[in-house]
């Protein structure tokens, strides 16, 4: 009976039966018959199960399941299932085909070896102390693209095919590739040059406007093109982009209607075009623009996305093409990580993000076509900060043999952090959007740029606007400011605050800056085409030496309108800021520039009022008390100071002009270097000039080996040989040469020496 009772109780517990009809209680007397009856009802069919449960319970009562964790680092291999350029490659059975899947299985110390092929994923680094490296000699491509299939002829537009966009496409704008080659968004005028930033050239994708204006109390802007290109076209819902006036006037708008040669749009840009005030037809007599819309597809290679459909006009038979479009916003995420190495990996069609990550090494990697078109609202560089490769609060990171090219936005944007290093790297063809973008922007501390090349940028190539140290050495800067003016390849500025930037002993040395032109800008009385090699506005505590600057000579453009053409070597500000730390320029060479030195001075009329509001600067005007200019060679050009008196806010904004009669003697524009230095010291700008030389434009080339090829070594009979002042820590002898090639020809080899892989997806 006891055995039967135990079995019944155990059965009830194991099967979850109710006790409503069956009770087992030691306090309640039960008859033998009751127990036997209960046992007889259930015992026969379940007896074997009960015995098995008891046996298992006895054997496993205290057994724990233990999952053994791997502690020894190992190699994890990843194989692509997409190698279109070599379909003969076979991958192992049960191979891992995703880098992210390999990352999940990895432990710190592991090396993930990625084999040949395309990986359509966002590489998310989720472990510390990990190495991701391509298999030896393999071409690995991490892509933000998806393949588009099932194209059918578009009935509305002859020659155009249409397909659904991929389901995972959730971007505002995309990029499209055919057999690996970048394809252009449909636009008027057509872009036929292989260059996104040639607005003045035929085929550059821009047209000079007849006019652009906005009536008072209206938010409708009208842009009139020079040709009747929109006959019988509906461009409603399209996009207008204009390079209009100064950078703050540039505009992006949504088209609401069009006529034969004009479009009307509402401005997306938060500037004068989105306000109710009038912009007259003659305020911007020269400006440039283009329009994008599906109905403008008219040449092979153009595309447009609308209502989750992609429209594309192929070059040849569309069945011979693989069409891809970007569906992922980023191709690399590297957040909250330590000691990660990425080597020999190529990325395409997406941005990168690195936050709170330190001791990262990115070596021999490429990133191409990062940021697609975007509707930028403002024009500050912060508006574009998370385009390109965005870094935040990240330190001790190294980029070596790194290639970053092509995109509407920035190259690398560094927000905070310290000790980030870039060596033998290329930043190319960036900033197609035209507003404030840079190949490299940094607000981080102690940056180091060496042996790098910056070429073809819409605006700046390096920009700094915070008190940070940055050393820029033996690097090359070519074709900056292609979609703007009034700035330079290296653009350092206080951004208008009262008080200069402190560069903490930064060095700019052995660099080449060349071939800057910019575009002509017309805004009211402002009519200028102005570019500058070193745009160092309100900046002190730095040294620039052994730099070579040449071919900064903007052309006429051929317009009927007169405008000022300036290619400057150096602009210092200081505006209203008192610069007392060193500003050193030693042994620099410039050639074929229209202006050597430029300054802008401002007297603060209401300085006493500002002091009561917390402004600490007591000086009522800009000064430079600690300049040192020695051993520089300039070509025959102009030297200038402009001067005004203004009322300011505490943050440096102007509230209006003030009486400037007592400063009328201060402005100067002169071809005489000696007159300029003497005059500037009287104004309060102390250059301390020593053994600087100016060469005549018609005979000065005789001092160099070959100015046409950029060989600025001095000839043996040059008057600049041995004519310099010795400067400890700078010059190589007690009788140094003047100019950038003093001591050696090291500066001539400035820039990256980078060998790119064959991009095998292009076929």
What pLDDT is attached to residue 12? 37
The Cα–Cα gap between 323 and 465 comes to: 41
Please answer whether residues 242 and 289 qualify as being in contact, where contact means their C-beta atoms are separated by less than 8 angstroms: yes
Residue, of 373 and 62, whose pLDDT is higher: 373
Structure tokens at 584: 């050193």
Mean pLDDT across 653-667 = 97
What pLDDT is attached to residue 49? 39
Mean pLDDT of the chain: 92
What pLDDT is attached to residue 29? 37
What pLDDT is attached to residue 564? 94
Q: Quick one: which H or E segment has residue 47?
A: helix 32-60
Mean pLDDT across 257-278 = 97
pLDDT at 230 over 70: yes
The Cα–Cα gap between 378 and 248 comes to: 8
C-alpha distances in Å from residue 340, one per residue of 128, 187, 335: 6, 42, 11
- How many CB atoms are located within 10 Å of the residue 611 CB? 15
Residue 557 banded pLDDT, cuts 50, 70, 90? confident
Please answer whether residues 330 and 144 qualify as being in contact, where contact means their C-beta atoms are separated by less than 8 angstroms: yes
Poorest-confidence range of 66-70, 77-81, 90-94, 199-203? 66-70
What pLDDT is attached to residue 61? 55
Give the rounded distance of the alpha carbon of 687 from its chain centre.
Answer: 35
- pLDDT tens-place string over residues 712-759: 999 999 999 999 999 999 999 999 999 999 999 999 999 999 999 999
Residue 36 banded pLDDT, cuts 50, 70, 90? very low
pLDDT at 48 over 80: no
The Cα–Cα gap between 462 and 672 comes to: 31
What pLDDT is attached to residue 561? 86
Mean pLDDT across 677-699 = 98
What pLDDT is attached to residue 214? 97
Cis before 284? omega within 30: no
What pLDDT is attached to residue 558? 79
Mean pLDDT across 328-336 = 98
Whole-prediction pTM: 0.91
Which has the closest alpha carbon to 331: 350, 353, 357? 350
Poorest-confidence range of 38-47, 193-202, 256-265, 303-312? 38-47
pLDDT at 581 over 50: yes
- pLDDT tens-place string over residues 393-424: 999 999 999 999 999 999 999 999 999 999 99
The Cα–Cα gap between 392 and 397 comes to: 12
Residue 2 exposed, middle or buried by CB count within 10 Å (0-12, 13-18, 19+): exposed
Give the rounded distance of the alpha carbon of 151 from its chain centre.
Answer: 34
What pLDDT is attached to residue 63? 58
Residue 16 banded pLDDT, cuts 50, 70, 90? very low
What pLDDT is attached to residue 64? 65
Residue 559 banded pLDDT, cuts 50, 70, 90? confident
Q: Is 5 helix (H, G, I), strand (E, B) or coil?
A: helix
Phi first, then psi: what are they for 296, rounded to 5°?
-100, 5
The string over 704-737, giving b where at least 16 C-beta atoms fall within 10 Å of a residue's C-beta and e elsewhere, is: bbebeebebbbeeebebbebbbebeebbeeeebb
What pLDDT is attached to residue 58? 45
Q: Is 579 helix (H, G, I), strand (E, B) or coil?
A: strand
Residue 62 banded pLDDT, cuts 50, 70, 90? low
| CB within 8 Å of 37: residues ≥ 6 apart | none
The Cα–Cα gap between 549 and 514 comes to: 6
Residue 65 banded pLDDT, cuts 50, 70, 90? low
pLDDT at 5 over 80: no
What pLDDT is attached to residue 11? 38
Q: Is 608 helix (H, G, I), strand (E, B) or coil?
A: helix
Residue 1 banded pLDDT, cuts 50, 70, 90? very low
The Cα–Cα gap between 205 and 186 comes to: 10
Angle (CA) 475 478 482, round 5°:
140
pLDDT at 646 over 80: yes
CA-derived radius of gyration, the chain: 34
- pLDDT tens-place string over residues 609-621: 999 999 999 999 9
pLDDT at 605 over 50: yes
pLDDT at 160 over 70: yes
Residue 634 banded pLDDT, cuts 50, 70, 90? very high
Torsion on CA atoms 459, 463, 465, 466, rounded to nearest 10: 160
The Cα–Cα gap between 555 and 529 comes to: 9
| % of residues, the chain, pLDDT over 90 | 89
Dump the DSSP string for 219-237: -EEEEEESS---TT---TT
pLDDT at 19 over 90: no
Structure tokens at 249: 């006037």
Structure tokens at 489: 């390849």
| % of residues, the chain, pLDDT over 70 | 91
Handedness of CA 288, 294, 295, 298 (dihedral sign): positive
Q: Is 375 helix (H, G, I), strand (E, B) or coil?
A: coil
Q: Is 244 helix (H, G, I), strand (E, B) or coil?
A: strand
């Amino acid at each position: 009976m006891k055995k039967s009772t135990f079995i019944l109780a155990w059965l009830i517990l194991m099967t979850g039966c109710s006790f409503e009809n069956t009770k087992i209680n030691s306090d309640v007397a039960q008859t033998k018959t009751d127990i036997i009856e209960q046992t007889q009802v259930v015992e026969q069919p379940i007896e074997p199960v009960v015995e098995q449960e008891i046996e298992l319970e006895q054997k496993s009562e205290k057994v724990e399941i233990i999952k053994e964790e791997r502690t020894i680092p190992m190699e994890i291999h990843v194989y692509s299932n997409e190698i279109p350029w070599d379909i003969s490659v076979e991958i192992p059975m049960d191979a891992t085909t995703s880098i992210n899947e390999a990352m999940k299985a990895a432990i710190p110390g592991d090396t993930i070896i990625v084999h040949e092929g395309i990986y359509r994923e966002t590489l998310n680094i989720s472990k510390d102390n990990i190495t991701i490296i391509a298999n030896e000699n393999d071409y690995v491509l991490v892509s933000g693209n998806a393949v588009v299939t099932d194209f059918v002829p578009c009935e509305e537009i002859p020659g155009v095919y249409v397909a659904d966009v991929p389901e995972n496409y959730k971007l505002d704008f995309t990029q499209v590739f055919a057999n690996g080659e970048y394809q252009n968004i449909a636009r008027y005028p057509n872009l036929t040059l292989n260059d996104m930033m040639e607005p003045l050239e035929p085929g550059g994708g821009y047209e000079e406007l007849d006019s652009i204006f906005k009536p008072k109390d209206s938010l409708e802007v009208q842009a009139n093109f020079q040709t009747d290109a929109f006959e019988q076209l509906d461009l409603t819902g399209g996009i207008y982009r204009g390079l209009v006036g100064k950078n703050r006037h540039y505009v992006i708008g949504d088209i609401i209607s069009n006529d034969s040669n004009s479009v009307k749009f509402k401005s997306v840009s938060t500037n004068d075009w989105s306000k109710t005030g009038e912009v007259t037809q003659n305020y911007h007599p020269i400006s440039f623009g283009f329009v994008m819309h599906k109905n403008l597809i008219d040449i092979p290679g153009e595309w447009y996305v609308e209502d989750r459909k992609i429209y594309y006009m192929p070059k040849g038979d569309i069945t011979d093409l693989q069409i891809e479009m970007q569906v992922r916003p980023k191709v690399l995420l590297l957040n909250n990580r330590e000691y990660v190495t990425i080597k020999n990996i190529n990325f395409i069609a997406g941005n990168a993000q690195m936050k709170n990550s330190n001791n990262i090494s990115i070596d021999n990697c490429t990133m191409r076509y990062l940021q697609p078109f975007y509707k930028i609202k403002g024009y500050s560089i912060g508006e574009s900060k998370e385009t390109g490769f965005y870094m935040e609060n990240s330190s001790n990171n190294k980029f070596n043999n790194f290639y970053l090219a092509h995109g509407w936005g920035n190259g690398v944007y560094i927000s905070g952090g310290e000790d980030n290093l870039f060596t033998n790297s290329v930043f190319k063809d960036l900033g197609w959007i035209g507003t404030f973008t840079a190949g490299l922007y940094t607000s981080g501390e102690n940056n180091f740029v060496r042996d790098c090349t910056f070429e073809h940028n819409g605006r700046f190539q390096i920009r700094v606007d915070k008190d940070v140290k940055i050393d820029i050495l033996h690097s090359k800067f070519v074709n900056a400011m292609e979609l703007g003016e009034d700035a330079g390849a290296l653009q350092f500025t206080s951004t208008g605050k009262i008080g200069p930037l402190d560069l903490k002993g930064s060095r700019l040395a052995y660099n080449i800056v060349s071939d800057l032109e910019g575009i002509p800008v017309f805004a009211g009385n402002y009519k200028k085409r102005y570019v500058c090699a070193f745009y160092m506005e309100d900046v002190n505590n730095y040294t620039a030496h052994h730099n070579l600057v040449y071919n900064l000579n903007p052309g006429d453009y051929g317009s009927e309108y007169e405008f000022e053409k300036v290619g400057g070597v150096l602009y210092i500000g200081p505006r209203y800021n008192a610069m007392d730390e060193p500003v050193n320029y030693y042994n620099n060479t410039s050639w074929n520039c229209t202006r050597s030195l430029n300054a802008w001075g401002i007297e603060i009329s209401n300085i006493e009022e500002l002091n009561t509001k917390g402004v600490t600067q007591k000086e009522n005007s800009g000064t430079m008390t600690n300049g040192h200019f020695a051993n520089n060679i300039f070509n025959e050009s102009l030297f200038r100071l402009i001067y005004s008196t203004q009322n300011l806010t505490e943050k440096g904004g102007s509230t209006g002009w003030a009486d400037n009669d007592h400063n009328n003697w201060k402005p100067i524009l002169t071809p005489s270097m000696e007159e300029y230095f003497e005059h500037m010291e009287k104004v309060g700008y102390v250059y301390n000039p020593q053994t600087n030389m100016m060469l005549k434009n018609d005979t000065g080339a005789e001092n160099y080996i070959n100015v046409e090829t950029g060989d600025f070594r001095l000839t043996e009979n040059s008057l600049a040989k041995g004519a310099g002042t010795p400067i400890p820590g700078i010059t190589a002898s007690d009788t140094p040469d003047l100019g950038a090639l003093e001591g050696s020809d090291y500066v001539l080899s400035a820039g990256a020496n980078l060998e790119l892989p064959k991009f095998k997806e292009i076929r």
